Each structure stands twice: as structure tokens, then as C-alpha cells.
Chain A
Amino acid sequence: MGMTIAEKILAAHAGADTVVPGQYLWCKVDATSGHRLADLEALGVDRVWDPDRVFMVDDHQAPPPTIAAANQVKELRRLIKKFGITNYFEYGRGGILHQVFAEHGMYAPGDLVAQCDSHSTAGGVFNACVTNANLDAVHVLAFGELWFRVPNSVRVILNGTLPGWCVGKDVILKVAAELGTDYGLYKSVEYVGPVASQMSLAQRWTVSNMGVEVGAKFAVFEADEKTDAFLAGRLDRPYEHVTADPDASYEAEYEFDLSDLTPMVARPGDPGNGVPVESVMSERVRVDQAFLGSCTNARLEDLEVAARILKGRQVHPDVRMLVSPSSQEVFGAALKAGYLETLVDAGALVEHSTCGPCYGGHLGVLGDGETCISSSNRNFQGRMGSPLANVWLSSPATVAASAVAGVIVDPREYL
């Protein structure tokens, strides 16, 4: 019996020839994050299993908005020094963890990574099994191992050719709307097909990032030359692409023909509330805040498309547009490419790389009754601030076009 990508990666890390869904394994893990260092210290342990494979950055409260937050980060820096963690990224050299860790070589094809933060599925874009470990990240810090139950695998086949202005975000909003936000529960989701190949690495990354929005344990792509191009110069170790066996067994296969896809938005409340943007235009949904940021959609090409739309235009007088690149590396690249200049000239507020607005923490929290169009991944009630605010999710193009129009619009009008 052949194996899926997840089964192969789990088997390799458990030292097993073959595994089957439902089986429990103890696996060696290739990397984790440093969120649980204090727990490790509390257990009386004074070293981590591999200081070079622990990655850490402060992104949620970056930089600290309160004294309590500042003290937390101060404590984190002490632990980083104590445990000799090499991959720690200070403000100005960091950004949002999923992006920053990838930039610094945390993930490679075939890897098994368990790290804190629910959007860890993002790492699946690198043909790796990357998932959340919360409390049990401390077990990884101590032993470099973690238990896994081999998940059922499902395959999402993305057929056709993506039409203009449609990107990975539109694809995942469509998939979540059709299949629901529970279809990936406990499962490894593999994305394949012509559109998976057609999408840039950044677009695939959005799809993997929102893996957790469909409940997935892993959200994996195959690797190709786009994967290798991103990883070149960022990794100091060899790797091999992992493909599923032709006779691998999937619990389900879902096919989408995306040739007729049009830009999507998810209505407030749930990422599965996706509908075509054109279907809401008659509602003239007024926008107070347009947010182009987060680990989902604030990479270089996301900023590029926004700059293209905003070039020679102005953000609507009643809208505040917040732009926060997904990392400081992306910030620097967008600066040098002139995208940030274009965005600033259009009247957007360019912030450093931070989680702040995405989780309603700081640097752009929504007030009662306000509406935000956001390139991020969650639009749950209260997610970006007031429980009385409304968050719509969309691609960066739709965010930028709506920022200009002052209402939610189809970005194809801005071609």
C-alpha cells in the first residue's frame, strides 16, 4: 500500500517503513518554537535538545504596547540567552513568526515541525508537515520528540487556470466556502493540480496558512522549482522533495475547476462565509479600515499588487488603510522596490511587521460598529477588536481596490 506525503514524512521521523492512519507514533521533530522555554525552566531543565533548531520572535506585541508586555519580552530575552537559542530575531530584524522562521531556514521539504501558534500549518507550503504544538512544545524542547496520530489524508485537486486578479486567497476562500471549515479536521490536506502548480509560492503559502481555518493538521503542497528558489541560500542542509505514492490512499478527494473563479470575500463571522465579491457590490459595504497585513497575505507580491492598484490613486477620504509587511525582510524589499513609496503617496499608513491589528491587539484595533476589509485569515466576532465590528476577508487586490472605493469592490474594475 502506497503512502501519502504526510504518511511518508511521519514514517521517516518515526523510523518506520510504513504507517497507517490512526496509528500512534513517537516522532523525531526537526524544529520547534521557543514559546515554552519558561515551562522548561520550571521543570528544572537547563538545556534544550538542539539550540539551533529552536526559533523565536516576538510578533504579537511587537514592540510592546504596555509595561506588562515589555516585561514579558524582557523575560523572553533572558530565556533565549540562558538556553543559547541562536535563531532569535529582535525587533527590526524579525516580523511575523511564520514568515520569519521560513526566511531563516526552519522548514525544508520532508521536515516534521511542531511549533506554537495555530497558523503553523503555513509551513506546509514547503512540502513539509508543520503543525501546532501548544503545551507539548515543551516536550519537543526537552527531547526533540513528540507523539502524533497518523491522520487521514484528503486531497484537494485544483484544476483549470486561475483567471486574472484571482490568487491563492480567492482559492482558499472558495474551498472553505464549498467544503466548510471542518472538512480538514484531524486531517492532512494535500493540494495538487494545475492551479497548485500555477500559483506562486506566496499564493500557496496563503492556502497552507489558512489550513487551520479548515481544521487541518497539515496543509501540504508538493515541492517544485518555486519551492527550491525560495529556499536557496536560506538552508544549510540537503533535502529531497516528497511526493505521494501513485497508489496512496486518500479518505476523500475534492476537485475544483477554478477557471471561472472570480475574486472572493468572506462575510463577517467565519472564514467559510466566502462569496464572490461581485455578489456583494450592490450592498455598497462601507469600509472604515482596510488592512493589508498578517502572515496570510503581506508578502512582497501582495504589496506589489496593492501598489499597482494604488499607483496614481488615493485611499478614500473615509478609509484608513494599514499596511504591515509580513516580515522586516519583506518590508526592506518592498521599500527598495518602491512599493511602500507608492502606498505612502496614496495615503496608506505603513507600519512595521507585526501581528498587532490581525488579532485585535494594538496598532489598529477596530471600534464598535466599524467595518474592516482584511487580507488576514480570521473574521470571527471580536477578532480584530470590538465584538461589534465586522471583518471581511479578501485578497490584497480586493483590500487595495476597496480602500480606494471606500466600499467593498471587485478589484477587476481596477485592471
Chain B
Amino acid sequence: METVCTGRVWKFGDRISTDLMVPGSRVLANPGLGAEEAATFCMEANRPGWAVSEVQQGDILVAGINFGCGSSRNGSMPLKTLGIAVVLAESVSRIHLRNAVNTGLPTLVAPGITGFVEEGQSLKVNIITGEVRNLETGATMSAEAWGEGTPPYEILMAGGLDAYMKIKLKERGLVS
């Protein structure tokens, strides 16, 4: 897991729901779809073309309040598949935040972030300490870090729940 990420910013608004990340009619209605293909529909309704031709590996997503509200479907999966390195939002829905940890996509609550950076600027984000630097303006701010040793930190550092579970199941002798 990269703990310091530098990337270009895409800005999204308030209350970006998981329905926008995983459109039901496109993705849930097609259970056979692979992760790559499913990701091409991410934000299709609010930002057509973004997933298909704009976003690049290592980019950073910045959003407003209650990012990932609504359904418990895993909106972090398409974001991670599209190469988003880190998500910073004013606030994040609880269900989405847990999905993000479990998917291994660093997602930090960063009050004030929408006024701190413009789309297209670059940020340097330390996901351990929560330090955020705007490489254009030189300004810094703090996002809420998980805290070393906390369960979400350990799951994130393992690379997500799947990897974390494999280690723990071995430790507890539930698999050989």
C-alpha cells in the first residue's frame, strides 16, 4: 500500500451516491459483468465520459458532504479499478467508508477539502498522517487519519479485507 500519493484532482459535489458509482440498471442488472467493464459506468449519469476516457491511474478524487450515501453497494470497487489512489471528502457515509477500507481504497474525511483545492490541481496526501499538501498553492491541511494500529488501519494496510482475512484465518487456524 502506497502511503504517500501524489496525483491530479477530480472534483465532485455533495451527496454523490453509490448509485452513481455503481448504476443499478447497468451493473446490478448484469451480474456477469467484469470489474473493468462495470467501472466504465461509474459516474456515467453525473459525469458522462469520465470513467471511459478522462480519469487516469493515480488520480485523486475530491468530493463534498456525505460521499457514498444511499445503497450499500460497493462504490469503491469501480473507483479503485479506475486507478483512483485516494479519496478525500468533506464527509463520507458510514457504509461507504467501511466498503472503502475493505476494498483497500484510502478514503479520508477531510473537512474543508472542497475549498482547499481546485479541479486539475495536484495534491500530495499522506494517508498515515492525514497531511494534505496542495502542490499548486503550497498550502497544507489535515485530513482525519485512521490512526496506526486501529482495525481499519490494519485492514487498509493489508490491502483490504480479503488479504486481512487470509492472514487472520491462518493465525486462528481456520485455514491451513
Contact = CB atoms under 8 A, between A and B. Distances in A.
Interface of A: 24, 26, 43-45, 68, 72, 116-118, 131-136, 138-139, 142-143, 147, 149, 181-182, 185-186, 212, 215, 217, 360, 378, 380, 382
Given A142-B168, A215-B94, 16 more contacts: A24-B150, A43-B175, A44-B169, A44-B175, A45-B174, A72-B31, A118-B71, A132-B95, A134-B102, A212-B95, A360-B24, A378-B70, A380-B17, A382-B19, A382-B24, A382-B25
A384 to B, nearest CB: 11
Contact of A43 (B93, B152, B169): B169
Contacts of A215: 66, 69, 93-94
B150 to A, nearest CB: 4
B40 interface: no
Contact of A45 (B17, B99, B147, B169): B169
Contact of A24 (B72, B151, B161): B151
B66 A380 contact: no
Contacts of B25: 382
A134 B74 contact: yes
A333 to B, nearest CB: 30
B65 A182 contact: yes
A410 to B, nearest CB: 30
A118 B31 contact: no
B98 A135 contact: yes
Contacts of A45: 169, 174-175
B166 interface: yes
Interface string B9-20: 000000001010
Given A24-B147, A116-B72, A380-B19, A185 B169 contact: no
Given A43-B175, A116-B72, A186 B94 contact: yes
Nearest to A42: B162
B32 to A, nearest CB: 8
A5 to B, nearest CB: 18
Contacts of A380: 17, 19, 70
A131 B25 CA distance: 26
A143 to B, nearest CB: 7
B161 A139 contact: yes
A27 B74 CA distance: 23
B91 interface: yes
Contacts, number: 82
A-B CB proximity, top 5 nearest: A147-B151, A135-B102, A24-B150, A118-B72, A44-B175
A265 B40 CA distance: 36
A29 B70 CA distance: 24
B161 A138 contact: yes
B72 A185 contact: no
Interface in B89-142: 91, 93-95, 98-99, 102-103
Nearest to A117: B72
B63 to A, nearest CB: 14
B31 A143 contact: no
Given A117-B72, A135-B99, A135-B102, A142 B169 contact: yes
A142 B95 contact: no
B172 A143 contact: yes
B93 A134 contact: no
Contact of B98 (A136, A143, A185, A382): A136
Interface in B147-170: 147, 150-152, 161-162, 165-166, 168-169
A396 to B, nearest CB: 24
B95 A118 contact: yes
A135 B74 contact: yes
Given A135-B98, A380-B17, A43 B165 contact: yes
A116 B169 CA distance: 21
A134 B95 contact: yes
17 contacts: A24-B147, A24-B151, A43-B175, A68-B32, A118-B95, A134-B98, A134-B102, A135-B74, A135-B99, A135-B102, A136-B98, A138-B165, A181-B69, A182-B66, A185-B94, A215-B66, A380-B19
A131 B97 CA distance: 14
Contacts of B70: 118, 378, 380
A338 to B, nearest CB: 37
A142 B165 contact: yes
Interface string B66-84: 1001111010000000000
Contacts of B95: 118, 132, 134, 212
B31 A134 contact: no
Contacts of B71: 118
Contacts of A44: 169, 175
Contact of A139 (B24, B72, B150, B165): B165
Interface string B32-75: 10000000000000000000000000000000011001111010
